Amino acid sequence: MSQIITPDICDAHPEVRILDPLFVNLGGREAFCGPIRTVKCFEDNSLVKQAVAEPGDGAVLVVDGGGSTRCAMLGDMLAAQAAGNGWSGVVMYGCVRDVDELAETDLGIQALGAHPRKSQKRGEGQRDIPVTFAGVTLSPGEWLYADNNGILVAEARLPLEG
């Protein structure tokens, strides 16, 4: 795949939607892209755990964690499982933990920040629905592109040069 440089993508495709600059790049892959799959949950990562256990096929897991900064929704074990199952990345509208290990994991991870406390596991939440945060609605099947400059969403896969 061509190199992902979000400023160049914005220049070539002004129709892309740009998430508000709230996220920190914490994964081992600084740039990543793929079709979106979604989880909506609040301080309960049961459905995140379920999703990363499935084949990712190069997709990006977009998690609407309600913007909570009171616990982590992804840690080293789930990130390693996601990488092993072929996920391209995770965008977490919430926090993650085990950041030193995440930085060594072959997975793109962008989150609001780090928190040492794990989440609850009550089996609550929804999957594969449109989610809205950071000024953008992200729907399953759309394409997400992320690097150190930001996160973009397009209705379909973009032809990238490079």
pLDDT (0 to 100) of residue 1: 46
Query: In the chain, how many domains are there?
Result: 1
The reply to whether 62 falls in a domain is yes
Question: d(Cα 53, Cα 18) in Å, to the nearest integer?
Answer: 29
The reply to whether 34 falls in a domain is yes
Structural domain of residue 127, as residue ranges? 6-153
The reply to whether 66 falls in a domain is yes
- Residue list for the binding site for substrate: 75-78, 97
pLDDT in tens, 70-103: 999 999 999 999 999 999 999 999 999 999 999 9
The reply to whether 162 falls in a domain is no
Cβ(9)–Cβ(152) below 8 Å: yes
- Residue list for the binding site for Mg(2+): 98
The CATH number of residue 41's host domain is 3.50.30.40
**Exposed, middle or buried: residue 145 (CB in 10 Å: 0-12, 13-18, 19+)?**
buried
**Exposed, middle or buried: residue 1 (CB in 10 Å: 0-12, 13-18, 19+)?**
exposed
Q: Which of 160, 135, 137 is nearest to 147 (CA)?
A: 160
The reply to whether 45 falls in a domain is yes
The reply to whether 160 falls in a domain is no
60-64 vs 108-114, strand pairing mode: unpaired
pLDDT in tens, 6-20: 999 999 999 999 999
Hey, which residues does 17 pair with through a beta bridge?
153
The reply to whether 158 falls in a domain is no
- Residue list for the binding site: 75-78, 97-98
